[in-house]
Chains A and B, each alone.
Chain A
Amino acid sequence: MYLKHALRAATALTFVATAAAHAQSITIATVNNGDMIRMQGYTDKFTEATGIDVEWVTLEENVLRQRVTTDITTKGGTFDIMTIGMYETPIWGANGWLVPLDGLSEEYDVGDILPAMAGGLSHDGTLFAAPFYGESSMIMYRTDLMEMAGMEMPDAPTWQFIKEAAAAMTDRDAEINGICLRGKAGWGEGGAFITAMSNSFGARWFDEEWKPQFDQPEWADTLNFYVEMMNESGPAGYATNGFNENLSLFQQGKCGMWIDATVAASFVTNPDDSTVADHVGFALAPDTGLGKRSNWLWAWALAIPAGTQQEDAAKQFIEWATSKDYIELVAESEGWANVPPGARTSLYENPEYQKVPFAKMTLDSILSADPNSPTVKPVPYVGIQFAAIPEFAGIATQVSQEFSAVYAGQQSVDEALAKAQAFTAEEMEAAGY
């Protein structure tokens, strides 16, 4: 009789323990892009291995940014892991809003994370987010059109070469635009592109005293060059074109060159979606010989908000999702071209991955970007296509709207720069800089 009761109790306890183990659940907020969606498909494997359930909240990038910012600043505790970028990580880390990612296991090999990525996702040397994938920007160009134009793309071209090549490749009758670039307003859209481009022209957002620099000749040079080149060789209505619009144009064979995120390489070389998949070449983003190229650096990374009740489970998930094993898991199932790029050094040492056509140029682009020294002249901020200060997003959105108005022919370059200077100076002063 006693034994029967003991057995029953043991069985009940086992059920309770099992139920408790399965009851552990983490909620992750993430963006809707190919790599993140792919990861969601593999979540069952993580749950099988750990017993931790994963709930996903997938949102469009701008909605996600607003959603997670609201939650973390109010300590809402809705999410156990947040997908954030290089802009938010150092700011939130400095504010104590994120759990430091120290104490990661030896197998995880934190030293394998690309130094540029680790640097951009740290504050005072502490890693606050683990990169799931990283990107820079580079030139994607039509090899057939370049050949027809009688030109050869160097591995590291100048802006002058790009302008001449764009003019030579443009064929308005055939609806081919020599070059497609972002012009859409928004700090993460056209604002990101023109800021990275301005770095190569010697411009900067602020001097060492946090004084705005739009009244300096480098900014006028950047904008005048951009507008002249786009009016000559860009698509109609480029003032409203962002990543997706240019991707669509390029895939339909309507762009000779496109300078944008390195992740686009997998889209434009995919024959299912791209009509020009067999004729795409890659080169480093252009420069003007001043020592800085116009490529940016970005990572979508996983971070744990301070105050979560599921810190250990969240760390476990981050270790799994950003590990070497996960990359191999994706490679086994879907091929090396589909693994999340730009996060780990070992990926680029892998001979299988080296066979992917855009792998080398992606790595070279990432390695040539230094968020701690983004400009020709010294600056007080970290970040290439942004300045990692809380005020930047609001200011840059307004400034990029002024620039887009120039692209749309609604005002002159000088007018836009004067407005940008006045607005930024006012905002920075109000913020106490």
Chain B
Amino acid sequence: MARAVTSRRKSLNTALAWAVGLLIFFPILWTILTSFKTEAQAIASPPLFLNFDWTLENYAIVQERSDYMRFLWNSVIIAGGSTILGVIIAVPAAWAMAFVPSKRTKDILLWMLSTKMLPAVGVLYPIYLLFIRLGLLDTRGGLVVVLMLINLPIIVWMLYTYFREIPGEILEAARMDGATLKEEILYVLTPMAVPGIASTVLLNFILAWNEAFWTLNLTAVDAAPLTAFIASYSSPEGLFFAKLSAASTMAIAPILILGWFSQKQLVRGLTFGAVK
């Protein structure tokens, strides 16, 4: 009896999980479907789900109009660069907070997080002026630094949470064995925190990939990533939803594929330490 109830509950939970998953994924699915419609089909009422003449015309138009590979490359450099730089800075910071905390550690962590609460537009002008003075406007290097700084509080917080799960005694033992600080972090702490670091890297890569305020405001031609690519197909005067959907699909495809292949690490990392 108990087994039947458990089995039914499991099935229900699975069905519920699928329903929630589909609900969340539906806008993306709809975007992908719309990208294969004509502009007239894209706005048809009632909406057409699968029963339409599939076309690749929108992809051809987008490909012809925009240099997709340039935008893609910029996205990879900016998202990848800011994530790597962020992790390099955050690992020692999180180590210090997790294993050598001071009275103010909690306050510092909260203060770091509070910088995320300021609307980005509030500091647009100061950062824009700084970029002009430093010659960083429309450069990938400038954006790598800005996105790293924006995501750094999250990276530090995540790593701090993972590091706290690792017993300090292990690091202490390494120190007793004569490991230097660098060796302790590189050869003892890091291997144990690989799932946490991997999920932090993935999550921040996704955040940097999707960032659409600074990447639109600080770039023009040379450093414009895929967010600028999508923005160039959005129009308040004209129904170009099919083309916009094709551009959106092309922009999210790499990150979707990356997420698909690394979902195990992502889930493992995000639930690391959640259940004791």
Contacts and interface: CB of A to CB of B under 8 A. Distances in A.
B132 A75 contact: yes
Nearest to B240: A32
Interface stretch (A2-10, A239-247, A397-405): A239-247
Interface stretch (B80-88, B92-100, B226-234, B252-260): B226-234
Interface of B: 39-40, 43-45, 65, 124-125, 128-129, 132, 137-138, 216-217, 220-221, 224, 228, 231-240
A55 B224 CA distance: 12
Contacts of A160: none
Contact of A78 (B124, B137, B235, B238): B137
Interface of A: 27, 29, 31-34, 37, 40, 55, 57-63, 66-67, 70-71, 74-79, 188-189, 242-244, 247-248, 251-252, 254, 261, 263, 267, 272-273
The 8 closest A-B pairs by CB, nearest first: A58-B232, A60-B234, A32-B235, A248-B43, A55-B221, A78-B220, A57-B220, A273-B40
A155 B249 CA distance: 45
19 contacts: A31-B235, A32-B232, A32-B240, A33-B238, A34-B238, A40-B65, A55-B220, A57-B220, A59-B216, A67-B217, A74-B128, A74-B129, A78-B220, A247-B238, A251-B43, A252-B45, A272-B39, A272-B40, A273-B239
B132 A76 contact: yes
Contacts of B235: 31-33, 60-61, 244
Contacts of B128: 70-71, 74, 76
A59 B232 contact: yes
A79 B220 contact: yes
Given A76-B137, A79-B220, A243 B237 contact: yes
B194 to A, nearest CB: 39
A62 B43 CA distance: 23
B263 to A, nearest CB: 32
Contacts, number: 93
Which applies to chain B's interface (DSSP): helix, strand, loop or mixed? loop
B236 A244 contact: yes
A78 B132 CA distance: 9
B220 A61 contact: no
B23 to A, nearest CB: 22
A304 to B, nearest CB: 16
